Structure 1
Amino acid sequence: MTIRFVDLQAETRFLRAQMLRAWEATLDDATFVGGQAVHIFEEHFAQYCGVPYAVGCGNGTDAIELALRALSLPAGTKVITSALTFVATVEAIELAGYTPILVDCDVNTYLLNIDQVLASWDNLVTVVIPVHLFGRPVDLGQLVSEVHRRGGYVIEDACQAHGATVKSMRTGALADIGCFSFFPSKNLGAYGDGGAVVTQNSLWYERIRRLGNHGVNTQKYDHRIVGRNSRLDALQARILTVKLSFLEEWNERRRRYADLYRAGLHHLSDVILPPDDPPHIRSVYHVFPIRVPASLRNALQQFLNNVGIETNIHYPRPIHLLPAFRHLGYAAGSFPVAETVTEQFLSLPMHPFLTETQIEFICENITAFMRRKRP
C-alpha cells in the first residue's frame, strides 16, 4: 500500500470527464489568457469568499505582491508577518519593495502572535500580513480594528485556507485584502500555477487588475502605470470553476479526517496534535502537522516511508534561518517558538481522497513506532 501525501491522481480520475470538457471548451473558444472564462471564475470566487471583487493572477506570491503594491505605500514601509510561513509571504514583501518585520508564532495554533505584532509596531509599519497557516484561520477581529486605528492595513495570506471561516465569514473577507494561491496541491488547486486577490475596495480592485496586466487602463496599449504580467489563463480558470463546486464537500472531508487522526493518535503522550477548533473557527486542514520530539522526527518519517506512507515537513526552518533572509538580521533564538516547532513538525497525508482504512493504517504505524521510541 502506498498512501500519497496529496493524491492528485485520484482527484484527476474523479474529475477527468469534466476536465476534458474544460480543455475542449478552451480549444473551441481559443481565448487562452483572460477572457470570459476568467471573468466567470472571478465572479464565482468573489461570491464564494463573500466579497464583491476578485482578480485572477499568476500565483499566490504575485497575489501578495500585487496587494501590497495596490496600497501605494511609501518607500521604507515595514510589513509585519510571521516567522513561520512559506517563503513566498516574505518574498512578496521584498519584491514589492518593502521591509519584512518578523514576529514569532503562537505555541498552540502556530499562527501569528498578535501581541508581538502590536509590540513590534513603529511609525514605519503600515501593513500586517497574517498567514492562515495549514488551513487554520487567524481570528482577525481585534487585530484589524487596532491596525486600522493606527492607520495601517491588514492583508490576509489565505494561500492555505480556501474556505476557512471565522464567525461564519470566509477567509478573504476578514481584512482589507485577501490573497490566494491555486497551486495544484491546495484545497482549491489549478492544474498549473494560479492565484487571486479579493477585496471589498473598488479602488484597490481596479489598481490590482491594472498592475497585473502591464498597467493597462481600459483600452489596449493605454498603459497608465508600470505593472507586470501576472494573469490567470482561461484553462486554469475553467478548471478552478469546476473544482470550486466541490470545495465545501472536500473541506468537510478534511475536517472529518482530522477528527479521525485525533481519535487514532490522542493516546500518544509524545505526539502533539493540531488543536481543535473553537466554536467560532472552522479550519480546512490544508496540512495536518503533528509534533514529535525532534530526536525522533526524522526516524519516524523514514519508518512511515518504509511502510508506504508519504509525509512532509512544513517547514524545516523558519524564515529568519533561511540563507535568503539572513540580511534581515535575525539571529538564531530570535523566535523560539517557530524554531522549536519546525524541528518537531511532521505533516501527515491530508487530501479529500483518503479513506478511513488508510488513516487507521497511518495511526497504527505511528503508534507502533512511538511505543518503541526508536531514534
Structure 2
Amino acid sequence: MNSVPFVALDRCHETLKADLSKIFDATVASNELVLGKACREFELRFADFCETEFAIGCGNGLDALTLALRAAGIGENDEVIVPANSFIATALAVSSVGAKPVFVDCLEGTYSIDIGGIESNITPKTRAIIVVHLYGIPADMDPIVALANKHGLFVLEDAAQAHGATYKGKKIGSLGHAAAFSFYPTKNLGALGDGGAVTTDDPVLAERIRKLCNYGSTVKYQHELQGVNSRLDSLQANVLSYKLSLLPDWNERRRQIAAKYHESLGECSDYLDLPQVTKAGEAVWHLFPVLLKGIARQSVIDALAELQVSTGIHYPYTIDKTEAYDSPVSVPVAEKVAEGGISLPMDPYLTDGEIDYVCSALKSVLEQLVGD
C-alpha cells in the first residue's frame, strides 16, 4: 500500500483538470474578474442549494463571520457565545467587531456546543450565539434557536465545514438568522484559493452584508457604510458553481467512508470513541475525528506515519487557551478532545482499499501500544 494522504486534493484537480482549464480560459476572456455575472450566478445557485433566499459571496470564511456580525449590529460591549472547540476564526470574528467571545464547552460524541453552557453564560450583554457545525456534523439546532428566541439573540451558524449537511431535513445554513461558509480549497466545497459566503433569509441583513463587503456600496462611488474589501472573484465563483454540481456525490462518498470507519473501528471502543451524529441530522464528514482513551496521541500519530497513514489534529488547543486569547475557562469535554483527538484521512477521492488499510493500521497500532 502506498501512503494514504489526509486529503487528496491533487486527485480531485487531476480529475477535473480539463474542465477547470476551460473555466479559467472562459473567465479570463470575460474580462469580468471581480464581482459581475459569475458571482451573481454562483450566489443564486448557492442560495438555492442552501434553501435560503440570499447568498452573498465574500473573501473568506472569517470575513463571512465578521460581516454577518457587523450587519447584525454587534460590536463594542457586546458578548457573543462561542464554542471553545473550533478553529480560532470563530472567535476572531467576534473580536474583530469589538465584541467579547464567551467560551463554552461542547457535548460528548457530536462535539457540538453544549446548550447548557450557552444558557448558563447568557448575561445582559449577550447579543448572539455562534453555532459551529464542527467536522460537518450538524448541531442540535431546535433547542438552541428556541433559547435564542427566548432571549432575543442573533443566531449565526458557522458552516465552514458543513456544506450540504442537513438537520431535520433542512439544510445547514438555513437554520439561524445567518450562516457563514468558507470555500478554502480543502473544504467539502472548495475554491482554488480563498472564498466565503453568507446565507440568510433576511433581505435587510443581506443588503447590508452586500454593501459592507464592497466598501459600503452597491452603486459605484455611493458609499453608505464604512465597509471593507471582501469580494469573491469571478474565477473562484465559476469554479465553485461547477464544483457545486459535484458536491452531492462527493458528500455521499464521504458518508460511505465514515460508515466504513464506524463499522470497522467500532470494535475498538475500549481505546477510542467514534464521532456521533446529532439526532435527525445528516453529516457530510468534512473531517472524521476519533478520540483516544488512555493512549498518548503522538505515539499513535508517529506509528501511523511509519505505516504511511497521514493524520491531522482538529484542534490541539481550545480557543480560550491559545496565546491569542489566554482566558482559560472550564471546558473539560473540549479539553479532552484537544488533548486526545486525531482526524483520520477523509476525502471523496480516497479508495475503499485505502480506508480499509487505515482501519487495519490503526487497529494494529492500538494493539501494539496497549500491549506495550
Fold shared per TM-score above 0.5? yes
Per-residue displacement from partner, 1:132-171 (whole Å, max 9, x unpaired)? 0000011211211221221111000000100100011011
Match of residue 241 from structure 1 = 241
Q: SS in structure 2 opposite 1:107?
A: coil
Q: Which one-letter code corresponds to 2:255 in the other structure? A: R
Distance 1:220 1:367 in 2: 60
Aligned length: 369
Indicate yes or no: 2:335 matched with 1:339.
yes
Offset at residue 277 of structure 1 (A)? 5.2
Match of residue 31 from structure 2 = 30
Offset at residue 75 of structure 1 (A)? 2.5
Offset at residue 305 of structure 1 (A)? 1.1
TM-score normalised by length of structure 1: 0.96
Distance 2:39 2:59 in 1: 12
Distance 1:40 1:33 in 2: 13
Match of residue 161 from structure 1 = 162
Of 33-42 and 268-277, deviating more is: 268-277
Alignment of 1:120-131 (within 5 A): 120-131=121-132
Q: Which one-letter code corresponds to 1:107 in the other structure? A: E
Distance 1:259 1:183 in 2: 25
Offset at residue 17 of structure 1 (A)? 1.4
Alignment of 1:76-87 (within 5 A): 76-87=77-88
Distance 1:136 1:285 in 2: 7
Match of residue 41 from structure 2 = 40
Q: SS in structure 2 opposite 1:92?
A: helix
Q: Which 5+ residue runs of structure 1 have no aligned equivalent? A: none
Q: SS in structure 2 opposite 1:178?
A: strand
Distance 1:304 1:32 in 2: 44
Q: Which 5+ residue runs of structure 2 have no aligned equivalent? A: none
Identity %: 40
Per-residue displacement from partner, 1:158-191 (whole Å, max 9, x unpaired)? 0010010001101110110010000000000001
Q: SS in structure 2 opposite 1:129?
A: strand
Question: In the superposition, relative to structure 1, how do residues 27 and 294 fare at CA in structure 2: closer, same or farther (>3 Å)?
Answer: farther
Q: Is the 8 A contact 1:294 1:343 kept in 2?
A: no
Of 305-314 and 228-237, deviating more is: 305-314
Distance 2:278 2:125 in 1: 35
Question: In the superposition, relative to structure 1, how do residues 155 and 277 fare at CA in structure 2: closer, same or farther (>3 Å)?
Answer: closer
Distance 1:36 1:335 in 2: 46
Q: Which one-letter code corresponds to 2:41 in the other structure? A: I
Offset at residue 296 of structure 1 (A)? 2.4
Q: Is the 8 A contact 1:318 1:339 kept in 2?
A: yes
Q: Is the 8 A contact 1:128 1:153 kept in 2?
A: yes
Q: Is the 8 A contact 2:60 2:197 kept in 1?
A: yes
Match of residue 349 from structure 1 = 345
Structure 1 runs of 4+ aligned residues shifted over 3 Å read none
Offset at residue 344 of structure 1 (A)? 0.8
Alignment of 1:209-288 (within 5 A): 209-216=210-217, 218-268=218-268, 269-276=270-277, 278=279, 280-288=280-288
Distance 2:46 2:72 in 1: 22
Q: Is the 8 A contact 1:144 1:153 kept in 2?
A: no
Say which of 328, 331, 336 aligns to 1:330: 328
TM-score normalised by length of structure 2: 0.97
